[in-house]
Amino acid sequence: MAQTGKHTLTVQASTQYLSDVRAFVADCAHNAGFQSSDVEDIRLAVDEAFTNIVEHAYNYDTSKEVCLSTGFNKNKFWISISDEGKPYDPTSYKEPNIPERIKQGKGGGVGVYLIKKLMDHVEYKTIGNINQIRMSKSL
């Protein structure tokens, strides 16, 4: 099937670029034909994935880069986000116990949970020194 509407964005790994990343992916999702509530879901999922890379893969080293690539066909829209930092091990994922985290005064730790809730399919892989999260949502 022909792939249409492919776009890429490379930015420094800094939270100061979060709004640019959100604007980029919202624009791509909108152009793919999503309604605004789905665009918001995709935008938040990408925000969470980008933030995790900045914080955990690169440990706030803003000299590093993150590459985003989006595309869609008539069935689905996908986003791939790549980095060269510390790999995320998806087998270590446990659904967070949010009331317990609140009781312990712990903020955060819910990004991957949100990504999984917001997107239809989420896959992590590492090839060589490149880590990639690939997420998709049906159109």
Partner 1 sequence: MSTFNINVKTGSNIDILEIRGELDAHTASELERYFKKLIDSNRHNLVVDFSELEYIASAGLGVFMAYIEEVRSLGGDIKLTNMSDRVYNVFDLLGFPTLYDILDDVNDAINRFSEQSSAQ
Residue 45 CB, shortest distance to partner 1, in Å, is: 10
> Hey, which bits of 25-116 come out as E strands?
65-72, 76-83
CA–CA separation, 95 vs 111, rounded Å?
A: 11
The distance of closest approach from Cβ of residue 111 to partner 1 in the complex, given in angstroms and rounded to an integer, is 5
Identify which of residues 71 and 81 has a Cβ nearer to partner 1 in the complex. 81
Strand partners, 8: 69
Asked if 83 is part of the footprint of partner 1 (rule: CB under 8 A), the reply reads: no
CB of 16 to partner 1, least distance (A): 5
Task: Record the tokens describing residue 62, joined without a space.
Answer: 């803003």
Q: Which strands form 4-12's sheet, in the order they lie side by side? A: 4-12, 65-72, 76-83, 130-138, 121-127
Question: Should residue 121 be labelled a site residue for partner 1 when binding is judged by CB under 8 A?
Answer: no
Selected binder of partner 1 within 7, 27, 31, 40 (CB under 8 A): 40
Per CB under 8 A, 111 contacts partner 1 = yes
User: Quick check: 70 and 6 in contact, CB under 8 A?
Assistant: yes
Identify which range of 36-44, 67-75, 81-89, 124-132 contacts partner 1 by CB under 8 A. Answer: 36-44
Which of 6, 74, 86, 106 binds partner 1 (CB under 8 A)? It is: 106
Distance CA 95, CA 76 (A): 26
CB 81 within 8 A of CB 133: yes
Q: In this structure, are residues 27 and 70 in contact, taking their beta carbons and an 8 Å threshold?
A: no
- The contact set with partner 1 (CB under 8 A) reads 15-19, 22, 37, 40, 44, 47-48, 51, 54-55, 98-99, 101-111, 113-114, 117-118
